[in-house]
Structure 1
């Protein structure tokens, strides 16, 4: 690998939020020079990729930067090669028979056979089609779905599902199909990303697919676990804020006054070193969380954030609300949030009509719960501010804000959505200490550092 390509690769990986240190670069160059017979890709990947979750993005960047020959070929040449390769293998029929997808020459997954080759699948969709979809300005996931529909993917998987249900497929064949399905999805997503990066001449489309920056509502199960583990790690790194009082301890600042007093008792001949440390200031935390349908995909992470931070506060109370409030403090502790989810399903139907009413919630909190809350408490509101065109009643949030120490609001919507007609954020912001967009793992990280 020449130096210019290597520099472009390092820059691209850094652009997509993969951390590469100067030592990593030095080690990679040393290994490439010392072991020229080893595959360059394996050497660089082993030294640059420290987290398994970054491997997929590395593969995409490598294809664009290093293996970009297919993007430099003329369009006609690419399509011609693709059509020729597909035609050579078009006799094989899959379980679903002939498909009706919009791939090159009308070929689809159902006409490729039981074990489709990823190269052929990748070339079912011409670059012009990807360019057309990207030009419409639709979201990444919608483009992927459109491409899958074009190659008749859904008919193909349905045919295998039906065959398995009827007992036509063995267990081994079924698991093999599941692996093939995952590989196809990965290949199509990668191809869409490559087309977006090429068309935009920017790495931003790829950055948006990194688990740190993806919307929490679109994370895969693997990415959700990454966010949970990251929240635990962020919580462990937080230092407790010291209070004003001191307490004796075996380690900490040397307590001169206590040493002198002890020395006087022994006429100054003997003394022991005494230490002291500040007693942590741990105020009360009150969490008010919207669990309506529009917030469902975010509640799990926000509540998990609270559970990881519980050691920092003297007392934590958690309230759920839709158009009324109920206390769920006893259900939110521990890594297993199944109790929380069940509580949302059961109590949500009992005490709510199902449509958010922030004004009614703040009124209930101010009139019936506020007297139980400490004046040093921190109130954290988690909600999107969508009020279903009901009265905002901001005077009740003003009363709450005057009673508690600080009010923080975490909103999963984009900033421009806060000004929509049905959103009451603009009426509540004046009574909040800070308002944050909380849409991705990187937002959560920033909030943890700033607030706690």
Structure 2
């Protein structure tokens, strides 16, 4: 099977399936054939071209390949790392642009020592494997481990020194671009090494799954990953565009209404002079979206608003309400602005309210007493919030009043269920009045919500 042995081939396939990539039996057969017929082509290139059906999954493939096939190349011994790094630093004619660093790194070596833009091989050597293992062993979150490794390398001092040099005009435009590319390379290299250690430590591919854009927390997505999620939302909503309710309504166009035509033809001795059409009424005739836009929720609001925007044409009436400790109707603003403007409005909401801390009880009371009368009994209410009430009174009786008036109440919560029992969280009191509560932490969660709610 070319230059790749059968055991490694099986391990790669199993790992890719473990991280939720779909690989069929035909894909495997095609790969075996190509590996045998084209030994001059690198196995990685063959498997990537046959197993990756979506460009956005390329990053996961690269991570899996690195862990399964390239471990020996990725991780050298600590002694060889120290020697290599010290030799690299001795070859520099000047200290780094930010001066001498004091990061923990490998023996106190940091990015501010490096002097020039590091290549990926040098970056790999400068990162301390033992430090990563220490942090992973302490069961810290992935993003926290990344930040601590960056701090150890004096990364933030390093980038600040380049920013300052560019502002002063002592750094050329080309060097500035190279520096930004180096930033991305450094962070990617750190992330890859942490994932490798996590997979080994837990003996599971779950850490890689959590970093896939479909399963990654919406609050941690990069700009590129956000665009992937939005393009996926468009596809999901397009597939559901024809999903209507069970009741029919007369229309000027749509499906031919045979029953109506026959009824009319009876009055004209079997002749008919007009075609009649009908279409199904929307499954959700009216939608009210109530979004907590406090700091912890802002990134999740962005995606829910995008979902609602995609479904706008098939819902008769939509109302969008933002809140922290009081309600603000933003329906017209959302429809008349670009999404980037809406995102900015979400971020700037804090100055519009008195406290800046969520008060769900006060919000439900305001909704029940001042706005409920204008909401249809057939409306569906979608609440986006983590339920953290900041020790205010829950006032769940007002949510009960709201639930009695509308057809359904769906609650979307980015927190795990075990977090609902925290002292400042009122979800246990609110969930009994909801038709269903969904976790909405990832793009995969959003996909399920789109199918069920809309």
Partner of 1:295: 297
Tell me whether 1:88 sits opposite 2:104 in the alignment.
no
Deviation, 1:294, is 2.5
Distance in 2 (CA, whole Å) between partners of 1:341 and 1:38 is 47
Distance in 1 (CA, whole Å) between partners of 2:367 and 2:245 is 30
Distance in 1 (CA, whole Å) between partners of 2:188 and 2:209 is 17
Partner of 1:409: 411
Deviation, 1:295, is 1.6
Tell me whether 1:336 sits opposite 2:335 in the alignment.
no
Partner of 1:17: 20
Cα offsets for 1:173-196 (capped at 9, x unmatched): 111111112111111111111111
Within 5 A, what are the aligned runs for 1:95-134? 95-134=97-136
**Secondary structure at 1:408's aligned position in 2?**
strand
Structure 1: gaps spanning 5 or more residues: none
| Structure 1 range deviating more: 271-280 or 214-223 | 271-280
Partner of 1:28: 31
Within 5 A, what are the aligned runs for 1:39-438? 39-70=42-73, 78-91=77-90, 92=92, 93-238=95-240, 239-247=242-250, 252=255, 255=258, 258-259=261-262, 262=265, 265=268, 277-333=279-335, 336-344=338-346, 349-438=351-440
Distance in 2 (CA, whole Å) between partners of 1:353 and 1:294 is 15
Distance in 2 (CA, whole Å) between partners of 1:266 and 1:291 is 64
Runs of 4+ in 1 over 3 A off after TM superposition: 246-254, 259-268, 270-282, 341-352
Cα offsets for 1:413-445 (capped at 9, x unmatched): 121111111111111111110111111111111
Structure 2: gaps spanning 5 or more residues: none
What RMSD, in angstroms, separates the aligned Cα atoms of the two structures? 2.6
TM normalised by structure 1 equals 0.91
Deviation, 1:319, is 1.1
Deviation, 1:401, is 0.7
Distance in 2 (CA, whole Å) between partners of 1:448 and 1:267 is 46
Residue pair 1:263, 1:271 contacting (<8 A) in 2 also: no
Aligned residues: 447
Over 3 Å counting, the alpha-carbon distance change for 1:284 and 1:339 in structure 2 is same
Deviation, 1:230, is 1.4
Residue pair 1:358, 1:392 contacting (<8 A) in 2 also: yes
Distance in 1 (CA, whole Å) between partners of 2:347 and 2:80 is 54
